[in-house]
Amino acid sequence: MVFRVDLGSVRKDAAGVIYLDANATTPLLPEVLDAMLPWLREGYANPSGAYAGAKLARRAIDQARNQVAELIGADAGEIIFTGSGTESVNTALHSLDKLAGQGAAVVSAVEHSAVLRCVDHLTREVNAIPVTAGGRMEMEAFARSLDKAAYISLMAANNETGVIQPLCEAAALARERGLPIHSDAIQAAGKIPLDVKELGVDLLSISAHKFHGPKGVGALYLREGLRFRPLLEGGGQETGRRSGTENTAGIVGMGAAAAAMLRASKSEIEMMRDAFEARVLAEIPGISINGDTTHRLPNTCHLSFDRCDAAGLLILLDEAGVACSAGSACMTGKQRPSHVQLAMGIPEARAKSSLRFSFSLLNTLAEALAAAMLLGKAVEKLRRVQGSGVGPVTVYSP
């Protein structure tokens, strides 16, 4: 190994960690926290009230609704605030399942568990469309599936590999058949431009904590005029579309984060990711890049390591002060291959050797290069224990 990085110059977070797990969650931006604090302190009024404090909270929520709508090219009245991205997804799918006609729920084989488990629990047939070796949905198979479809749910970008799906093309085919389409855009929002009108989707789910907002708040885009049935009944908040007292501070934070994402330049994130990737590919033998490297989120790097298991690498990297993950955060601790990688045709052994590194606005180039150096040391150490035979560098992309 020939890495040379001055670790003393690397800025780490408050826990002393180089945090490269932004696809799991992101730290709050300082301006987001500043926007939230008044509503956690003195702005405690219920926004459904009729008095002055409640009206201030309602105006703050309305402003946040406008900010979130602008992030995805929607009208403010088309935004429903939810308690999480998962709730947003479940709300959309339960409504579609109740109101759509006869036929199957069409999804891709690499959807997040929030989609896959939800449709599995609904009553109709589920048609999971295969993906290519690069992780993109096979469009010919998708087109054939529409003859027997009731509705569609297709993610904008995969949470593990970062692979961007052909959502616009899929939505165009759905429109031709008069089929409603939902998109889980939770990993894509704030990372790549999203415009619901240009995409042609009917419903779209996002979550604040994936783009430097708070946890515990999400949003659902519901196209104006689309038939809809709420998941939660009660007090009639969100114009009757999602009951439950609004989380004013969280919603304000989501709006502030959405506004920050519109202002922020994403080019530095891609530069950091590419520098990290180039360094590890040059210096560590036996690495595979998983997923289509052309259609990919600018912040995500998904790697497999010959003769290394992911669990061992995670332990060594954690000890070295680097936070990353073995695929989806929802799968951490589960000793089985990712369904995403298996759907891509990645062998089980390589799937179990995979790590995801995901960058955010708060990372630096120095952190990226330091993490590459520490990764090299971890791989070298683990291979000494597990065996030294390694293969060539491979990029698994069509």
The domain segmentation of the chain, as residue ranges, is 7-28+265-396, 30-263
pLDDT for the residue 387 = 66
* Among 320, 274, 323, CA closest to 26: 323
| Chain segment 43-62, per-residue pLDDT in tens | 999 999 999 999 999 999 99
* CATH 3.40.640.10 corresponds to the domain 30-263: yes
Residues whose CB is less than 8 angstroms from the CB of residue 254 and which lie 6 or more positions away in sequence, other chains included: 64, 67, 68, 81, 208, 213, 214, 217, 218, 219
Q: Is 24 exposed, middle or buried (0-12, 13-18, 19+ CB in 10 A)?
A: buried
**Four-way CATH pick for 7-28+265-396: 3.20.20.410, 1.10.10.10, 1.10.150.530, 3.90.1150.10:** 3.90.1150.10
Match 């970062």 to its residue by tokens.
Answer: 162
Q: What is the pLDDT of residues 94-139, one digit of tens each?
A: 999 999 989 999 999 999 999 999 999 997 899 999 999 999 999 9
What's residue 3's pLDDT?
A: 40
Q: What pTM, to 2 d.p., does this model score? A: 0.92
Mean pLDDT of 167-184: 98
Range in 3-7, 181-185, 265-269, 338-342 the model is least confident about = 3-7
For 143, phi then psi, to 5°, come to: -60, -40
Q: Which of 118, 168, 324, 330 is catalytic?
A: 330
pLDDT band at residue 2, thresholds of 50, 70 and 90?
Answer: very low
Q: Tell me: the pLDDT tens digits for 279-288?
A: 999 999 999 9
* pLDDT (0 to 100) of residue 363: 97
pLDDT of amino acid 205 = 98
Q: How far apart are CA 243 and CA 237, in angstroms?
A: 5
The candidate with the shortest Cα–Cα distance to 182, out of 259, 100, 67, is 100
pLDDT digits (tens, 9 = 90+) for 289-341: 999 999 999 999 999 999 999 999 999 999 999 999 986 544 444 567 899 99
Do the domains 30-263 and 7-28+265-396 match in fold? no
Percent of the chain residues past pLDDT 70, beyond the cut: 91
CA distance 45 to 275: 48
The count of other CB atoms within 10 Å of the CB of residue 102 is 9
Confidence of residue 13 (pLDDT cuts 50, 70, 90): low
Confidence of residue 36 (pLDDT cuts 50, 70, 90): very high
> Alpha carbon 60 to chain centroid distance?
26
Q: CA–CA separation, 198 vs 369, rounded Å?
A: 37
Q: Would you call 168 a catalytic residue per the annotation?
A: no
The stretches of 73-162 forming alpha helices (DSSP H) are 85-99, 113-121, 139-145
